[in-house]
A and B are shown apart, each in its own frame.
Chain A
Amino acid sequence: MDRAEIDRRIRTLIEPFNKNGVTITDDTTFQGDLEFDSLTVMDFVAAIEDEFDIIISMNQQAEIETYGQLVDAVKKLVDAE
């Protein structure tokens, strides 16, 4: 799967969690810009995991701060399948 396709799918998944309608770029941060709390993170990560049939462990989540980093991390996990 190419990066653009992963990006497109995650953009759809993030919509219900983007309560303030923030414009999302690769530099958008989950904590700062999107104001995700730990519960939102869990639900959002679960949605991505189900969509791509992958696991993003908490250790990996800790390394991801921006939307762009998330897309890259998912691409890596999908490629490794």
Chain B
Amino acid sequence: MSEGISQPDQPVTREARAKGDLFAKFDELIQMREGLLASGVEDPFNLVMEKVLSPTRAICNGRETILLGTYNYMGMTFDPDVIEAGKQALEEFGSGTTGSRVLNGTYQGHKECEDALKEFYGMDHAMVFSTGYQANLGIISTIAGKGDYVVLDIDSHASIYDGCSMGRAEIVPFRHNDIEALEKRLKRIPADAGKLVVLEGVYSMLGDVAPLKEMVRISKEAGAMVLVDEAHSMGFIGEHGRGVAEDQGVLDDVDFVIGTFSKSVGTVGGFCVSNHPDFEIMRLVCRPYVFTASLPPSVVATAATSIRKLMHGSNKRAHLWENSKRLHSGLKDLGFQLGTDEPQSAIVAVIMPDLTRGAQMWEALLKEGLYVNLARPPATPANMTLLRCSLCAEHSEEEVSTILGMFERAGKAVGII
């Protein structure tokens, strides 16, 4: 593939598919990708980080690069205490558990990690999954079954939709962040049917926040249970960093909070916390929890250490918000179109006029030494092409200025500003 990039003029020829080739359904996507690469841009979905220098710097394709698309919000990946905890667990407990949580895969570290989560959220129960994707998949598919209704925001994460499909619940989407649309749908669902409302604190595509205060109240009034995915808010939104539901004062009315270790916590894993009195039964009936191996001891040790440090991260938190505001207003002043009028989270989404210029801009930034996240249809709302920037508490004020200079040069070169 990498060779194709440097030979943009060669026509793409491909042999006819063998009869019965199940890959035929991907032909349109394959063509779109080949078209993009033939135009000469570096493959946005094949970047390799050869060396990682810090939470905000890496060597990518041979260039030193500022990282502005990693969701490493709190910069915990190189925290000395976190690294030390991981090393110690690796040495004392080995490299992996080789088993499910319900068989031989629950170590002391998994319990300590769940204890840290219970304390962090002030909740009675915590369940750690191997990824955030599996946490949504597992909890949603297990609690909402055939005949139940899941009412969700149309821009919900793939793991939420997949959880609904797996549980075979009726999926009822409503327009993004539209309180009235949610209310109408809740009223039309048969009164005796089971109802789960699934919301996200921060929507990662545009970096906008949900009106959880009203939405949670309406859902509860309609007799629905509420699940909130706080993947993109943990550690820096809300007084204790518990997320948007805490910030808007409705955390007590939320039945389930889903989260991930792959963003602010800085490792890998997912979780659900809840005050439901029977929550522990999930450990026996939730298939994506039971039928997969548990996280390695080093991972849960780094997660637990990181979560405990996030409880006391108010200085870092304040600096992260400063960064977000500085980048948002700087890009706005340069004339870029942004996903939100005001910065609402640590994600700043820059809206591109189309996929071609989005990919060109992405590449121009990479050549400047800046990595951002390219998001394209169909994963994006309203089929937009976005350059998503996620800030880190470890970005310095100076780095944000450097980033703005890179955006200015790249934007002018590509003709977007």
Contacts and interface: CB of A to CB of B under 8 A. Distances in A.
A64 to B, nearest CB: 14
A2 to B, nearest CB: 22
Contacts of B154: 42
A58 B171 contact: yes
A15 B111 CA distance: 58
A42 B178 CA distance: 13
Contacts, number: 31
B172 A54 contact: no
Contacts of A43: 175
A35 to B, nearest CB: 13
A22 interface: no
B25 interface: no
Q: Which of B149, B172, B189 has the most CB of A within 10 A?
A: B172
A49 B188 contact: yes
A55 interface: yes
Given A39-B383, A42-B154, A54 B188 contact: yes
A53 to B, nearest CB: 6
A46 B178 CA distance: 12
A53 B188 contact: yes
Contacts of B189: 55
A58 B185 contact: no
Interface in A46-81: 46, 49-50, 53-55, 57-60
Nearest to B154: A42
B140 to A, nearest CB: 14
A55 B181 contact: no
B191 interface: no
B192 to A, nearest CB: 14
Contacts of B183: none
A58 B173 contact: yes
Interface string B151-167: 00010000000000000
Nearest to A61: B171
A30 B173 CA distance: 19
Given A42-B154, A49-B188, A58 B175 contact: no
A55 B185 contact: yes
B172 A57 contact: yes
A23 interface: no
Contact of B173 (A42, A53, A60): A42
Interface string A22-49: 0000000000000001110011001001
Contact of A57 (B149, B175, B181, B383): B149
Interface string B369-386: 000000000100011000
A59 B185 contact: no
Contacts of B382: 39
B84 interface: no
A59 B170 contact: yes
Nearest to B149: A57
25 contacts: A37-B383, A38-B378, A39-B382, A39-B383, A42-B154, A42-B173, A43-B175, A46-B181, A49-B184, A49-B185, A49-B188, A50-B184, A53-B188, A54-B188, A55-B172, A55-B185, A55-B188, A55-B189, A57-B170, A57-B171, A58-B170, A58-B171, A58-B173, A59-B170, A60-B170
Given A54-B188, A55-B172, 8 more contacts: A39-B383, A42-B175, A46-B181, A49-B188, A57-B149, A57-B172, A58-B171, A60-B170
Interface of B: 149, 154, 170-173, 175, 181, 184-185, 188-189, 378, 382-383
- For the complex of A and B, list the 3 residue pairs with the smallest distance between their C-beta atoms, beginning with the closest: A58-B171, A57-B170, A55-B188
